[in-house]
Amino acid sequence: MESLILVADDEIAIREMVCAYLQKRGFRTLAVSDGFQAMDSLETDKPDLMLLDVMMPGLDGFTLAKLLMNRSTVPILFLTARTEESDRVVGLELGADDYISKPFSLRELTARIQTVLRRSQRQHTSPPPVATPESSTNHKLWKDIEIDFESYRVKKHGKILDLTAVQFQILTLLMKFPTKVFSRLDILEEVRNSTFDGYERTIDVHVKNLRKALGDDVKKPQYIETVRGVGYRLGTD
């Protein structure tokens, strides 16, 4: 069945334009005008992805995402006319999977939706591959963290962690080179092939969210160390 996309934006022209374009590309769509309606639709219609306008009346996109942080795993892509880096950082801290600024290309928006859906489906539906001598290089175990590069899965004590694509890429980079210190620019270059529009400062946000997902101690992180003035590496303890 085609993926269901929930479009939440208070501008009717944008809702109609986005929904019409996505429907032509095989998606099902639902359109709402504010965050309260989006929350209701999330409960009743079970969308596969939410497009949230940041500046909606009543309940804005950021506030809705904050409310959903520990209640839903539905991917979120923010639509916004606010282009400041600080707004991108806030969106990422709230768990957004992507962020696109208005005005935007419908073609680019569709590509980003497809990318987010693919990685979400891999994380939640891909069966774990059978480990064989030939495929053992697709797995890496470090402390109590196991990463499977083929199925895009990360486990801690056998439990699958819900990581975004960027968080997975950062962890993959660090685990493949466990003794190397990576600068923020190094990491940014590594994740540039994703749909993430990056700035060096936002790497700190992704690392912060990754640490949280790994259950790391904020004050004394053991999984990902900060090397002052340089960047990040795997914990050495």
| Domain ranges within the chain, ordered by starting residue | 4-125, 136-234
**pLDDT digits 0-9 by tens, 64-98:** 888 887 678 888 888 887 666 666 667 767 777 77
State the number of CA atoms in the 13 A half-sphere of 8 facing the CB: 30
**pLDDT digits 0-9 by tens, 130-166:** 333 333 456 677 788 888 877 778 888 888 888 877 7
Task: Calculate the CA 199 to chain-centre distance.
Answer: 16
Q: What's the pLDDT score for residue 85?
A: 61
State the number of CA atoms in the 13 A half-sphere of 24 facing the CB: 8
| pLDDT band, residue 195 (cuts 50/70/90) | very low
- In CATH, what number does 4-125 get? 3.40.50.2300
CA atoms of 209 and 211, how far apart (whole Å): 5
- Percent of the chain residues topping a pLDDT of 70: 81
Do 79 and 22 touch, CB atoms closer than 8 A? no
| pLDDT band, residue 192 (cuts 50/70/90) | low
Task: Please state, in angstroms and as integers, the Cα–Cα distance from residue 32 to each residue in 27, 29, 57, 82, following that order.
Answer: 16, 10, 12, 20
Within 8 A by CB and 6+ apart from 89, the residues are 201, 202, 205
pTM: 0.58
Q: Higher confidence at residue 121 or residue 225?
A: 225
Topology of the domain comprising 136-234: Arc Repressor Mutant, subunit A (1.10.10)
Beta strands in 35-171 (DSSP E): 49-53, 76-80, 98-101, 139-142, 145-148, 153-156, 159-160
110: tokens are 């569709």
Question: How many beta carbons lie within 10 A of that of residue 209, not counting itself?
Answer: 19
